[in-house]
Structure 1
């Protein structure tokens, strides 16, 4: 049995308990209320508490300004073989993407909407494009 018993009170902060475990190279500390044993805190308990505390913290929100959102959409559209949309045909205001101009096919229109939806910071999409007639597009 251990002769040097490490004890804490009910009001001992968790960081002090962790320090006691480290300094004393103990695996557990006894929690007492007066002279009465009311619990035990182990290293595993501390790890669980840290994990729980971390999970309850709000997730970091990455901020994407309108210019960087627009740039990311334009760059993503440039990598596709199908877009008939030009740089001037995309605007972003307060995270709302607006497409202007025309599109060659319904598949192209839908694909560009999905592409924009997956860009971080996009809050909504307004599509004001119209279908282009093939004959008109070649003129």
Structure 2
């Protein structure tokens, strides 16, 4: 069991929560108020919160690179076709996809998920298709 538990307050900004999840490599963080647990925020909760934001362009609503990556990793968490964390890099709002994958549809799904995150300028696909080598 973890003794050094990281928690957030009910008014902690979502971007900060996303940064904590990414930096600590955790999927959920308890929400505490006056020393008592009042809830839990998960990666899926962050994705749901972002999905509920109106489509109106709001310049202050963009996320940092770390926050973009954390939200995208949360969206992909638990999906068989999702990319491994080390294969997604975000630099200056540009999401870079790396690796060898069996399905172009999976790459397309990750691209669509990334493009819906505030602050993503574009998605660059550096992936390569998986090819079976005969005789191996």
Calculate the TM-score normalised by the size of structure 2. Answer: 0.51
Question: CA-atom RMSD, angstroms?
Answer: 2.3
> Which portions of structure 1, spanning 4 or more consecutive aligned residues, are displaced by more than 4 angstroms?
none
Within the candidate set 107, 112, 115, 1:114 is matched to: 112
The 1-side partners of 2:96 and 2:127 are apart by 9
Structure 1 pair 79/63, CA: closer, same or farther in 2 (3 Å)? same
Deviation per CA, 1:50-87: give whole Å up to 9, x if none.
Answer: xxxxxxxx95521311000011111111142322x210
Gaps (5+ residues) in structure 2?
1-56
Structure with greater Cα Rg: 1
Calculate the TM-score normalised by the size of structure 1. Answer: 0.50
Q: Which residue of 1 aligns with 2:126?
A: 128
The 2-side partners of 1:124 and 1:71 are apart by 16
Gaps (5+ residues) in structure 1?
1-57
Greater helix fraction, Structure 1 or Structure 2: 1
Figure out how many residues of one structure are paired with residues of the other and give that number. 79
Within the candidate set 85, 88, 100, 2:86 is matched to: 88
Bigger CA drift: 72-81 or 117-126? 72-81
Q: Which residue of 2 aligns with 1:37?
A: none
Q: Which residue of 1 aligns with 2:6?
A: none
Q: Which residue of 2 aligns with 1:78?
A: 77
